[in-house]
Amino acid sequence: MAIATPSTVRQCIDAGLLDEININIAPVLLGSGQRFFPGDDLEAIGLSDPEVVAGIGVTHLRYRLAKAPAPAAA
């Protein structure tokens, strides 16, 4: 499954639903842009060092995410 907007990706990260993030970087900005990782919480997200694949006019980054702990039972 693929998820393609920063706000939806962030909600899935916060819910512990993602195993990895793939980001394609190209020198084009559409609209005003939105940060994928706002704030100072990158450490809490648990991103691995990226796998990097350089292409023509694009760079592909693949990050694995640490599994979020399961919510405590009520």
Cut 0.75: pTM above it: no
Q: What pLDDT is attached to residue 65?
A: 85
Is residue 35 in some structural domain? yes
Number of domains in the chain: 1
Is residue 26 in some structural domain? yes
d(CA 58, CA 69): 34
Is residue 72 in some structural domain? no
Is residue 69 in some structural domain? no
Q: Where do the H-state alpha helices sit in 1-74?
A: 6-14, 42-45
Is residue 71 in some structural domain? no
Residue 20 domain boundaries: 6-64
Is residue 1 in some structural domain? no
In whole angstroms, how large is the CA radius of gyration of the chain?
A: 14
Looking at residue 48, the DSSP 8-state letter turns out to be P
Instruction: Output the tens digit of pLDDT for each of the chain's 74 residues.
Output: 677 778 888 888 888 888 898 888 888 767 776 676 666 666 777 888 889 999 999 999 998 987 654 554 55
